[in-house]
Amino acid sequence: MSPRLPAVICLPYNYPVMSSPFVPKRVVVAAYPKMPEALTEAESMSAFLKEKGMDAPVGSLYDEGLRRRVKQGEFDMLVVVGGDGSVLRAGHLCAPSGVPILGVNLGRLGFLIQIDRKEWRGYFEKLLRGEAWIENRMMLRAEHIRAGESRGVSHALNEVVVGRGQNLRPVRLTAFVDARQLTSYVADGLIASTATGSTAYALAAGGPILPPELRNILLVPIAPHLSVDRAVVLAEGSSVGIVVKSENAVLSVDGQLPSPLMEDDVVNVTAADVTAQFVRFGDPGYFYRNITMHMNENSLGLPR
What does the pLDDT look like over 114-169, one tens digit per residue? Answer: 999 999 999 999 999 999 999 999 999 999 999 999 999 999 999 999 999 888 89
| Complete edge-to-edge strand list for the sheet that includes strand 159-164 | 232-233, 218-222, 189-193, 159-164, 249-253, 259-260
**What pLDDT does residue 302 have?**
40
CB 277 within 8 A of CB 99: yes
CB 267 within 8 A of CB 242: yes
**What pLDDT does residue 250 have?**
98
Phi first, then psi, for residue 298 (nearest 5°) are -65, -30
**What pLDDT does residue 13 have?**
42
pLDDT tens track for 72-82? 999 999 999 99
Number of other residues whose CB lies within 10 A of the CB of residue 68: 10
Under-50 pLDDT residues of the chain: 1-7, 9, 11-17, 300-304
**What pLDDT does residue 239 have?**
98
Return the active site residues. 84
In angstroms, rounded to a whole number, what is the distance separating the alpha carbons of residues 83 and 227? 35
Number of other residues whose CB lies within 10 A of the CB of residue 146: 14
In angstroms, rounded to a whole number, what is the distance separating the alpha carbons of residues 88 and 66? 17
CB 225 within 8 A of CB 26: no
**What pLDDT does residue 167 have?**
84
Domains and CATH numbers, the chain: 27-131+282-300 (3.40.50.10330), 139-273 (2.60.200.30)
